[in-house]
Amino acid sequence: MSIEINNESGVAVDEAALQRLASYALDFLHVHPDADLAIVLVDEAAMEQLHVQWMDEPGPTDVLSFPMDELRPGTDDEITPAGLLGDIVLCPQVAIEQARSAGHSTQDELQLLTAHGLLHLLGFDHAEPDEEKEMFGLQRDILVGYAHSQRRR
């Protein structure tokens, strides 16, 4: 599994932890070990530009996902085919503010956003209440499972 992380944000981030989380989540979702994922961390100006260009919304946002091969999660019996998952773009400056509001660390917020962005790459959405319940449930399961796996390390 190729997980490339590129921090262009100017903010120090535990990139290894993001990589471990992404690897855990891909395994949890039965994604092929040869799938490729890129995580890019950008500053507010770059995120605002992407947000306007792709979502037609002003201001920076916390996370954007750009799927490539439209892969979907696998199952216990059949993993996802190999391919390009796509890119997750994170903005640490926005994550810092959200973490303060939520009462947890910036790293916890970036991990939540990474799991959220990954689920979007795999076709999950939260536009409808039933979709939101499914997506946020999986997001929680990934984060709790990952945290538990790190305590055993």
Tell me the binding residues for Zn(2+).
116, 120, 126
| Binding-site residue set | 116, 120, 126
Contact 61, 116 (CB under 8 A): no
For residue 103, the tally of other CB atoms under 10 A from its CB is 7
Geometric angle at alpha carbon 145, from 131 and 86, rounded to 5°: 55
Instruction: Tell me the three state secondary structure of residue 88.
Output: strand
Q: What b/e sequence results for 28-60 when a residue is b if at least 16 CB atoms lie within 10 Å of its CB, and e otherwise?
A: bbebbeebbbbbbbbbbebbbebbeeeeeeeeb
Instruction: Tell me the three state secondary structure of residue 127.
Output: coil
